[in-house]
């Protein structure tokens, strides 16, 4: 029974996730100055355990059930996103439900539900008409499906998570044989929209973040402070790091928030280039496993789900590591499996469980090993 259950498990995928979580725990242990009941490190150990249990549970749920029940899943996620707007703001954002024992971020659940919804809709469209994805009415339907949660998340406000939705949607459409003219039109609209958003739509704090991205020194003790400290921490790490618990920016409190947004800077400062480069390679391995599972999936729906999950991880990895290095604007998005956070850890482990279930039912072919 147990042998049958673990047959077909993607152990490479699980190994990558466990290694990332292990490095995260070491970095959080240092950032929190050891174990204390109630600190971020002790709570992260609990979230990793709960997340691993959720991964096992979701790996047992046939992925076909998600395709069957995507509509109620989507509706529930939208209702949760609407409801959270009426909660008390935390750090200026109405993004969490306070459940006493934890803060639940509904946008994390929404990511999973929207990926499943898009995959189900694209699959249904392509099953009816091989060129159906290029019909305007179908593209508009998918756009509405995505824009509803995106608008609700922007209202929280949480621009980083909203961008994640757009990223995985574009990638899912790209592999669904969409006509390239639509991609060019989309890029053109983005180019036109960016200056309009900057000058007339975005709130001042978002504009300030963009300005600081181009030149952090315009406000070195204010809005540019975090990115300057992050770059200093990464640059101070050298090849092998300053040692766990020995990083200047980390231990002296200059790096903030060091357990969430800037956890990669902690790793680079205290563990050095070798370990931080290894973390990036692990993420590359994670993305490749997602692509492999998508390419060897048994049907179009599961292939779309896998590539959507890849798109989600791709955005978070590029944006988080990019912003800590000053290559991208700061949006406050977490680094998967590494940043402290219960909702994010559980979401990531759940999608890994979904990937495992897809992999267990994949076609018997080998493309990438």
The full set of domain ranges for the chain reads: 2-360
Give the residue-averaged pLDDT of 226-248: 92
- Count CB neighbours of 90 within 10 A: 11
pLDDT band at residue 182 using 50, 70 and 90 as cut-offs: confident
- What pLDDT score does 212 carry? 83
pLDDT band at residue 3 using 50, 70 and 90 as cut-offs: low
* pTM for this predicted structure: 0.93
pLDDT band at residue 119 using 50, 70 and 90 as cut-offs: very high
Residues 62-88: tens digit of each pLDDT: 999 999 999 999 999 999 999 999 998
Residues 330-368: tens digit of each pLDDT: 888 999 999 998 999 999 999 999 999 999 887 544 443
Q: Which residues of 149-181 are buried (b: 16+ CB within 10 A; e: fewer)?
A: bbebbeebbbbbbbbbbbbbbebbbebbebeee
Higher pLDDT residue, 59 or 212? 59
- What pLDDT score does 366 carry? 43
- What pLDDT score does 288 carry? 96
pLDDT band at residue 5 using 50, 70 and 90 as cut-offs: low
- What pLDDT score does 367 carry? 40
C-alpha distances in angstroms, 341 versus 53, 66, 154? 16, 25, 20
Residues 45-59: tens digit of each pLDDT: 999 999 999 999 999
Give the residue-averaged pLDDT of 95-102: 83
Question: Taking a C-beta distance cutoff of 8 angstroms, is the pair 230, 326 a contact?
Answer: yes
Give the residue-averaged pLDDT of 115-129: 93
Whether 163 shows a pLDDT value over 80: the answer reads yes
How far, in Å, CA of 366 to CA of 350, rounded? 25
Give the residue-averaged pLDDT of 188-192: 85
- What pLDDT score does 4 carry? 63
DSSP category for residue 97: E
Residues 265-315: tens digit of each pLDDT: 999 999 999 999 999 999 999 999 999 999 999 999 999 999 999 999 999
pLDDT band at residue 127 using 50, 70 and 90 as cut-offs: confident
Higher pLDDT residue, 88 or 200? 88
What is the enclosing helix (H) or strand (E) of 103? strand 103-104
Query: What tokens appear for 334 in the block?
Result: 């977490």
């Amino acid at each position: 029974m147990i042998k049958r259950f673990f047959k077909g498990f993607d152990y490479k995928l699980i190994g990558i996730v466990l290694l990332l979580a292990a490095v995260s725990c070491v970095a959080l242990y240092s950032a929190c100055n050891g174990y204390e009941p109630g600190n971020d490190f002790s709570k992260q150990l609990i979230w990793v355990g709960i997340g691993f249990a959720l991964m096992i549970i979701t790996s047992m749920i046939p992925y076909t059930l998600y395709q069957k029940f995507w509509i109620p899943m989507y509706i529930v996620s939208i209702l949760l996103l609407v409801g959270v707007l009426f909660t008390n703001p935390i750090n200026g954002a109405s993004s969490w439900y306070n459940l006493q024992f934890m803060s639940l971020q509904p946008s994390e659940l929404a990511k999973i539900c929207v990926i499943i919804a898009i995959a189900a809709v694209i699959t249904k469209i392509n099953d009816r008409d091989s060129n159906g994805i290029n019909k305007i009415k179908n593209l508009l339907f998918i756009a509405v499906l995505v824009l509803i949660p995106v608008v609700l998340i922007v209202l929280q406000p949480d621009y980083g998570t909203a961008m994640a939705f757009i990223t995985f949607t574009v990638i899912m459409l790209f592999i669904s044989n969409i006509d390239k003219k639509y991609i060019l039109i989309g890029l053109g609209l983005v180019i036109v929209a960016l200056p309009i958003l900057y000058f007339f739509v975005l709130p001042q704090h978002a504009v300030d973040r963009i300005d600081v991205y181009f030149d952090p020194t315009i406000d070195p003790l204010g809005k540019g402070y975090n990115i300057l400290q992050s770059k200093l921490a990464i640059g101070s790490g050298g090849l092998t790091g300053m040692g766990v618990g020995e990083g200047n920016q980390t231990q002296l409190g200059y790096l903030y928030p060091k357990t969430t947004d800037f956890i990669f800077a902690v790793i680079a400062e205290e563990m050095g280039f070798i370990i931080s480069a290894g973390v990036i390679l692990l993420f590359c391995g994670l993305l490749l496993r997602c692509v492999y599972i998508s390419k060897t999936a048994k049907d179009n729906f599961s292939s779309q789900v896998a590539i959507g999950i890849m798109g989600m991880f791709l955005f978070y990895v590029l944006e988080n590591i990019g912003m800590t290095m000053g290559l991208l604007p700061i949006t406050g998005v977490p680094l998967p499996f590494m940043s402290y956070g219960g909702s994010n850890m559980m979401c990531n482990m759940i999608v890994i469980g979904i990937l495992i279930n897809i992999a267990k039912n994949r076609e018997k072919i080998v493309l990438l090993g």
